[in-house]
């Protein structure tokens, strides 16, 4: 795919991520244990201009996602998993309300604490209670899907129903093999985390951009060495779906 085939808002989103160094290139250790030649640090969307830009991209992605999947019920709650999902969910809900107040004014945000609070109101959920609610989860990036699975378990344990997942970046990586953490790569094909979750839980998922979009954007205009490392990484960890 050539960079000209990326839609204008995806291109603008990726370019703002690169200029703010939300997307950076080098060698990074991931939660999965993989060594990646690129990293998406959503914690760097910390100015009002960047937070506004990212929330506009999420909001448009969510509106398109809901329009393309009419069987998905309307969300009651936008849930942002701790930590990086928290400001993203809150800012996106404000943007959705700005774009379409009639639809979004009664929708709530909610997020978890990583450590439950044992005084005051207590518990590990801040914002709307999830019991009986249709919950749309917003997170920053998906690699092996550990964070997504934790969100599914958490929302279910609170009595909520997950109706969809939206992330900024789907790295399109295959799920880790059973001995990958020990450094043993069996080289077997596997589905992506997003694909596996769609299949296992029947939960629809979407992303603003993917690794394929990033490579298409960078092709022919960036550092050739970074580009080569990105393509090698994609070839090694590319998912089968």
Ligand X SMILES: O=C(O)c1cc(=O)[nH]c(=O)[nH]1
Ligand Y SMILES: O=P(O)(O)OC[C@H]1O[C@H](OP(=O)(O)OP(=O)(O)O)[C@H](O)[C@@H]1O
Query: Which of 6, 20, 78, 139 touches ligand Y by CB under 6 A?
Result: 139
Please tell me whether residue 39 binds ligand X under the rule CB under 6 A. yes
Query: 24, 49, 56: which is closest to 38 by C-alpha?
Result: 24
Could you confirm whether 60 is annotated as catalytic? Answer: no
Tokens of 236: 């090694």
Cβ atoms of residues 112 and 154 within 8 Å: yes
Q: How far, in Å, CA of 58 to CA of 71, rounded?
A: 20
Smaller CB separation from ligand X, 27 or 106: 27
Cβ atoms of residues 91 and 142 within 8 Å: no
Could you confirm whether 199 is annotated as catalytic? Answer: no
Tokens of 240: 């089968």
Please tell me whether residue 18 binds ligand X under the rule CB under 6 A. no
Contacts of 125 (CB under 8 A, 6+ apart): 110, 111, 112, 113, 158
State in angstroms the smallest separation of the CB of 121 from ligand X.
29
The catalytic residue among 117, 199, 228, 236 is 117
94 binds, among ligand Y, ligand X, none (CB under 5 to 8 A by kind): none
Smaller CB separation from ligand X, 64 or 185: 185
Q: How many other CB atoms sit within 10 Å of the CB of residue 90?
A: 19
Please tell me whether residue 22 binds ligand Y under the rule CB under 6 A. no
Active site residues: 117, 119
- Residues of this chain that interact with ligand X (CB under 6 A) are 30-32, 39-41, 141, 143
- Residues of this chain that interact with ligand Y (CB under 6 A) are 31-32, 83-84, 139-147, 193
């Amino acid at each position: 795919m050539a960079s000209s085939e990326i839609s204008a808002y995806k291109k603008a989103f990726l370019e703002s991520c690169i200029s703010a160094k939300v997307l950076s290139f080098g060698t990074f250790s991931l939660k999965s244990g993989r060594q990646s030649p690129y990293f998406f640090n959503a914690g760097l969307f910390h100015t009002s201009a960047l937070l506004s830009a990212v929330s506009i991209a999420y909001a448009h992605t969510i509106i398109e996602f809901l329009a393309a999947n009419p069987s998905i019920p309307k969300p009651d709650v936008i849930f942002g998993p701790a930590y990086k999902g928290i400001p993203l969910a809150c800012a996106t809900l404000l943007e959705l309300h700005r774009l379409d107040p009639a639809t979004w004014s009664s929708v709530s945000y909610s997020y978890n604490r990583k450590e439950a609070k044992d005084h005051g109101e207590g518990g590990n959920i801040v914002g709307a209670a999830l019991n009986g609610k249709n919950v749309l989860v917003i997170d920053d990036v998906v690699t092996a899907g550990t964070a997504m699975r934790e969100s599914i378990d958490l929302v279910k344990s609170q009595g909520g129903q997950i109706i969809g997942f939206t992330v900024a970046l789907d790295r399109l990586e295959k799920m880790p093999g059973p001995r990958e953490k020990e450094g043993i790569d069996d080289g077997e094909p596997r589905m992506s985390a997003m694909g596996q979750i769609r299949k296992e839980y029947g939960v629809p998922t979407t992303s603003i951009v993917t690794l394929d979009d990033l490579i298409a954007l960078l092709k022919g205009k960036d550092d050739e060495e970074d580009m080569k490392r990105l393509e090698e990484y994609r070839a090694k960890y590319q998912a089968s779906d």
